[in-house]
Amino acid sequence: MEEHVFDLLPAYALGCLDGEDDLRVGEHLSACHVCRGELERYRTLVADLPFAVAESDPPAKLKETILQRARQTKRIPAATPKIALWQRLPSWSMVSLVFILVLGASNLLLWGRLNTLESRQRASLRTVLLQGTAVAPDATGMLVISLDGSHGTVVVDRLPVLSESQQYQLWLIRDGQRTSGGVFSVDEKGYKGMYIKSPEPLDSYTAIGITVEPVGGSPGPTGDKVLGGNL
């Protein structure tokens, strides 16, 4: 007998569901806020479990190694102090700047009125280009996300046609955790458009990836990555 999705949530939080169950739960979660709440509680539990592993001290030199590597990493502070433009300009520039701003503002008003409709249309969707990997260098893809960030569609082209035992699987990535966003096959030209089954708003994820998996998909990525992009 098939279990109720509710009974599979503990295993989903652990990431130990087999492909078919995993897809079924993922699909259900996209439409059920009660189960999403339950899932969060089980995820909190999973994150507490490391407190029960046998403890060992890391090697003494490891901290310095990590800090050294952090120093070598090019790191752009999230918000660097900014110096206002007017403070950087020589005084004679101020009059010219005010004049330019007045002219610019009037042009912007006119431009804005002419383009309101077009702007609204552009603002309704956000697109993210996906890059092919070495496994599928000719492949291209695009993710289209709704303005509120809640849902989206992926379109892929020139992906290799797979054998009957394989399908592509889309992964939504956040904090190193991968959630299935759907399984698909492509036509003879490697083309496919697919609505993404996302258990949580799409803009809550940081990246997506597409891998080759057995038919029906896997609980986690197992095959080669063919396309990817950052959200």
Residues that bind other proteins (CB under 8 A): 3, 6-8, 10-11, 13-18, 21, 34, 38, 41-59, 62-63, 65-67, 69-71, 73, 75-79, 175-178, 204, 206, 219-220, 222
Bridge partners, 166 (sequence order): 214
Sequence-ordered strand ranges (E) for 61-195: 125-132, 140-146, 152-157, 166-174, 177-184, 192-195
Q: Which is nearer to other proteins, 73 or 91 (CB)?
A: 73
Closest contact distance (angstroms) between CB of 27 and other proteins is 18
The nearer residue to other proteins, 138 or 224, going by C-beta atoms, is: 224
Q: Is 194 or 218 the residue whose CB approaches other proteins more closely?
A: 218
Taking the complex as a whole, the smallest distance from the CB of residue 54 to other proteins amounts, in Å, to: 5
CB nearer other proteins, residue 22 or residue 157: 22
* Cβ neighbours, 10 Å, residue 225: 16
Give strand pairing partners of 154.
143, 194
Nearest approach, Cβ of residue 171 and other proteins (Å): 12
